[in-house]
C-alpha cells in the first residue's frame, strides 16, 4: 500500500508553510512531553511525600537510568533514521524490512541491557557514593527498573519508527497514556491501603505500601502495557510499517552496518552525557541528603522548559530525514533552521515562566523547606541557559535526521567533561550546589553555540546513509 509522504516534493514550500508543518508535527510530540512533565511532577510529589530519603534514593540512581535509557534510544535511532530516509525516497518495502530487522536486534539488546543492569543493582548505590540510609531503597528501585528494560527498548524503537514514518500522533498519545498509567500504578503501589474522605463519607483505596520500590514497580507496569500497544500500532496498524504490506526478516549486513554507524556515536554521546551526570551526582552526594534531593527535583522541574524542545527535535529528525532521503537538501536545510528557531522561541518563553514560578513548583514537589529553597535557587540559575539549550536539542534532532551523529557526540564530550565537570569541581568547594548549577548553565550555553555552528556550516548535508 502506498501512502503520500508528509512532504510535497513537487512543490516549493514557503517559509510560512514550513513553519506550519514543523509546528503540526511538533504539537503531538510536545503535548506528549508536557504530559510527561506533569506526570513526573505528580510522581515526584508522591515520592517526595515519603521524605527526603525517598527522593534522594531515586535521585541517586536517576543518572544511571538516564544512561541506560539513552542506550535504548541510540539503538532505536540507528534503525529509525534509515526508515525516515527510505520513506522519503519512496522505498517503503525496504523501510519495512529495516523495521523487522530492528525488532530482532531490539529483543537481543534489551535482554543484554536488563541482565547487565540487574547484575550491578546491589552495588550501584555504593559506587555512586550514596549514604547508608538510602542505599537499600535505591538498589531495589534500580533492580525493578532493570527488569523492565526489554519493554523499554521495544517502546522506544516502535515509537521512534512511527515518528520517522510521519505518524507523530500515535506514539505521542501512547506516551501520554504511559504517564497516566505510571501515576495510577504508583498511586496503588507506593502508598498503603487508606481511607479518603468524600462528601462526608469515606472511600477505602487499596494500596501495596511499597514506597520507593512501588514507584519503580508502577513505572514498570505502565511500561509493559504501553509497549504492547506500541508494538500493535507499529506492526499491525501502521500504513507504512505494518507486516501485512511486505518486507523480510533476513538480517542484512548493510542495514546493520548503517545502524551501527548511526547508533554507536549516538550511544557514545549518551554515555558521555550521562557519565558526566553520574560524575555530577558524585560531586553532589557529599553535600548531603537535602542537596541530593534538591538537585534531583530541580532536574525534574527543569523539564518544564526543555521537554518541548525534544518534541520539536523529534519533528526535525523526521522532516530532515525524509527530505534528505528524497534528495531535497534545500528542504532539509530550511526545515532544520525553522525548527531551531521555533524551539529557541518556545523554550525562551518557558524559561521566563519557570524563573518566576520556581518556588511554587517546589512547594508541590516536596514538603521540606530546606529542599524547596535550595531547589528554587538553583533552578533559577538554569533559566538563563534555556534558549541556547534549545538550540543544542533541536540542532541535534535535525543532524540526527541526516545521519550526522559522530560530530555531535564529540561536541558533547568536549562540552560536558571539558566545561561542565571541570567548572563544577572548581566552584563546588566555594558555592556548594549552586556551583554545580552555575557550571551547568555555562556549559549549556557553550554547547548551544557549538551546535549552531555545526548546523550553519552545513557539512551534515553531505551525509547519505541509504544506497
The per-residue pLDDT for range 58-73, each reduced to its tens digit, is 777 877 887 888 888 8
* 6 inside domain: no
- Indicate whether 2 pLDDT > 50: no
| Lowest pLDDT segment from 3-7, 39-43, 203-207 | 3-7
* 10 inside domain: no
Judge whether 131 and 112 are in contact, CB under 8 Å: no
Considering the entire predicted model, what is its pTM?
A: 0.76
Find, among 64, 63, 77, 464, the residue nearest to 267 by Cα: 77
**What per-residue confidence (pLDDT) applies to 384?**
93
* 438 inside domain: yes
* 178 inside domain: yes
377-394 pLDDT per residue, tens: 999 999 999 999 999 999
**What per-residue confidence (pLDDT) applies to 226?**
94
Query: Looking at the 3D structure of the chain, how many domains does it have?
Result: 1
**What per-residue confidence (pLDDT) applies to 4?**
45
**What per-residue confidence (pLDDT) applies to 443?**
94
CA distance 265 to 415: 16
What domain range includes position 370? Answer: 15-462
Between 137 and 51, the more confident residue is 137
Band of pLDDT at residue 447, cut at 50, 70 and 90: very high
Per-residue pLDDT, averaged over 208-227, amounts to 87
336-378 pLDDT per residue, tens: 999 999 999 999 999 999 999 988 888 877 778 888 889 899 9
Name 100's Cβ contacts closer than 8 Å, sequence gap at least 6: 243, 247, 248, 249
CA distance 298 to 437: 10
Region class of 209: left (phi > 0), else alpha (psi between -120 and 50), else beta:
left
- Indicate whether 153 pLDDT > 70: yes
CA distance 124 to 43: 23
* 8 inside domain: no
Residues above pLDDT 90, as percent of the chain: 31
Find, among 156, 146, 144, 142, the residue nearest to 72 by Cα: 156
**What per-residue confidence (pLDDT) applies to 115?**
95
* 168 inside domain: yes
* 4 inside domain: no
* 447 inside domain: yes
261-289 pLDDT per residue, tens: 888 888 887 788 777 877 887 888 888 88
CA distance 234 to 428: 47
Give the three cell numbers for residue 437. 548549577
**What per-residue confidence (pLDDT) applies to 393?**
92
Between 66 and 237, the more confident residue is 237
- How confident is the prediction for the chain on average, in pLDDT? 84
Judge whether 246 and 390 are in contact, CB under 8 Å: no
134-150 pLDDT per residue, tens: 888 889 989 999 999 99
Residues above pLDDT 70, as percent of the chain: 91
Q: Following CA atoms 420, 424, 425, 427 in sequence, which dihedral angle do they give, to the nearest 10 degrees?
A: 140
Which among 59-63, 109-113, 311-315, 359-363 has the top mean pLDDT? 109-113
**What per-residue confidence (pLDDT) applies to 362?**
85
Amino acid at each position: 500500500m502506498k501512502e503520500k509522504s508528509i512532504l510535497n516534493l513537487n512543490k516549493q514550500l514557503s517559509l510560512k508553510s514550513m513553519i506550519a508543518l514543523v509546528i503540526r508535527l511538533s504539537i503531538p510530540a510536545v503535548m506528549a512531553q508536557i504530559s510527561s512533565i506533569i506526570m513526573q511532577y505528580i510522581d515526584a510529589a508522591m515520592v517526595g511525600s515519603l521524605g527526603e530519603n525517598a527522593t534522594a534514593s531515586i535521585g541517586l540512581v536517576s543518572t544511571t537510568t538516564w544512561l541506560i535509557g539513552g542506550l535504548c534510544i541510540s539503538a532505536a535511532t540507528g534503525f529509525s533514521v534509515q526508515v525516515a530516509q527510505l520513506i522519503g525516497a519512496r522505498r517503503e518495502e525496504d523501510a519495512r524490512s529495516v523495521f523487522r530487522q530492528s525488532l530482532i536486534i531490539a529483543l537481543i539488546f534489551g535482554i543484554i541491557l536488563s541482565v547487565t543492569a540487574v547484575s550491578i543493582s546491589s552495588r550501584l548505590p555504593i559506587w555512586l557514593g550514596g549514604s547508608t540510609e538510602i542505599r537499600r531503597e535505591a538498589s531495589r528501585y534500580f533492580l525493578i527498573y532493570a527488569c523492565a528494560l526489554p519493554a523499554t527498548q521495544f517502546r522506544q524503537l516502535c515509537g521512534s519508527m512511527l515518528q520517522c514514518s510521519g505518524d507523530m500522533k500515535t506514539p505521542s498519545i501512547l506516551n501520554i497514556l504511559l504517564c497516566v498509567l505510571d501515576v495510577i500504578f504508583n498511586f496503588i503501589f507506593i502508598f498503603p491501603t487508606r481511607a479518603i474522605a468524600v462528601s462526608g463519607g469515606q472511600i477505602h483505596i487499596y494500596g501495596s505500601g511499597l514506597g520507593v520500590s512501588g514507584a519503580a514497580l508502577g513505572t514498570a507496569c505502565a511500561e509493559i502495557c504501553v509497549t504492547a500497544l506500541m508494538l500493535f500500532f507499529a506492526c499491525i496498524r501502521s500504513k507504512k510499517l505494518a507486516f501485512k504490506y511486505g518486507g523480510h526478516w533476513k538480517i542484512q549486513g548493510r542495514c546493520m552496518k548503517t545502524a551501527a554507524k548511526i547508533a554507536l556515536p549516538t550511544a557514545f554521546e549518551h554515555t558521555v552525557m550521562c557519565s558526566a551526570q553520574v560524575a555530577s551526582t558524585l560531586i553532589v552526594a557529599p553535600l548531603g541528603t537535602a542537596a541530593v534531593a534538591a538537585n534531583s527535583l530541580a532536574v525534574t522541574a527543569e523539564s518544564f522548559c526543555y521537554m518541548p524542545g525534544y518534541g520539536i527535535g523529534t519533528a526535525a529528525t523526521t522532516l530532515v530525514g525524509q527530505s534528505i532521503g528524497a534528495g531535497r537538501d534545500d528542504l532539509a536545510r530550511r526545515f532544520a533552521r525553522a525548527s531551531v528557531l521555533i524551539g529557541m522561541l518556545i523554550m525562551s518563553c518557558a524559561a521566563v515562566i519557570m524563573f518566576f514560578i520556581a518556588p511554587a513548583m517546589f512547594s508541590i514537589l516536596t514538603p521540606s523547606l530546606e529542599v524547596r529553597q535550595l531547589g528554587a535557587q538553583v533552578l533559577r540559575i538554569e533559566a538563563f541557559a534555556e534558549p541556547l539549550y534549545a538550540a543544542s536539542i533541536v540542532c541535534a534532532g535535525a543532524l540526527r535526521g541526516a545521519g550526522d551523529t559522530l560530530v555531535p557526540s564529540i561536541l558533547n564530550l568536549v562540552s560536558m567533561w571539558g566545561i561542565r565537570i571541570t567548572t563544577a569541581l572548581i566552584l563546588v568547594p566555594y558555592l556548594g550546589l549552586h556551583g554545580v548549577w552555575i557550571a551547568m548553565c555555562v556549559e549549556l550555553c557553550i554547547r548551544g553555540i557549538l551546535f549552531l555552528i555545526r548546523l550553519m556550516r552545513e557539512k551534515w548535508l553531505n551525509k547519505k546513509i541509504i544506497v
